[in-house]
Amino acid sequence: MLTAKQQQLLSYIKQHLDQGGVSPSFEEMKEALDLKSKSGIHRLISALEERGFIRRLANRARALEIVKLPEGMALAPARPAPAPTADIVPLRKPVPQMPARGTPIAANDVIEIPLHGRIAAGVPIEAMEGQTMLSVPAALLGAGDHYALEVSGDSMIEAGIFDGDFALIQRTETARDGQIVVALIDESEATLKYFHPEGRRIRLDPANRDYEPQIYDARQVRIQGRLAGLLRRYN
């Protein structure tokens, strides 16, 4: 069962593909659904992907493929989209005209995710909540909700994570042994480390031979996300 917004977006993507053979950009989808930010579109696409209605094609910009449609809305070859059936929520805005042949198509889409301050890659420091947004290439993120943290410290340098990098985090409260996670310690301090559960204890391992593992009672540690990607500035 899809929400109204999910049905709107799926209908819009289908019409766009039928008319031009290219999936719409995040900006076009945001405007068509009258949303305030691209992060809302990213969440809708992730939900449709998780439910098996669409698929993202790797290594291609603006590459969405429809896998299936709700009952009453059939897949069709490229042609003008039919009028919506009763179970499809009408779009608020019409499908925009596709660019003329030879006109460049927009570059890779980006979305905005919350930037929640700095996180330690050494001794834990407080992870500050903030309202700043970070623009991220959509291709770096998979399904689910994400946020970003600026890395402080050098304890993860052997994993390729350096001071000043932006860690892209998928929100989750669970993790597998050996994954790099954001771990909240005693509800006050957060750190980025390898996660190793050991019975009633949690071992958080650095990726720098100059640092020792951090060991806590399992009740002291709460997982706040898994590392999904990195952004780095060179200026």
> Which residue numbers are catalytic?
155, 193
Q: Single out the residue of 94, 108, 77 nearest to residue 11, CA to CA.
A: 94
Tokens of 157: 């340098």
Residues near 91 by beta carbon (within 8 Å), at least 6 away in sequence? 8, 11, 12, 15, 32, 33, 84
**Distance, CA of 157 to CA of 174 (rounded, Å):** 24
- Judge residue 79's burial from the number of C-beta atoms within 10 Å of its C-beta, 0-12 exposed, 13-18 middle, 19 or more buried: exposed
**Distance, CA of 180 to CA of 122 (rounded, Å):** 14
Contact 71, 8 (CB under 8 A): no
Tell me the DSSP string of 40-52. HHHHHHHHHHHTT
Q: How far is CA 211 from CA 123, 158, 184, 206, in A?
A: 9, 11, 19, 6
**Distance, CA of 151 to CA of 144 (rounded, Å):** 22
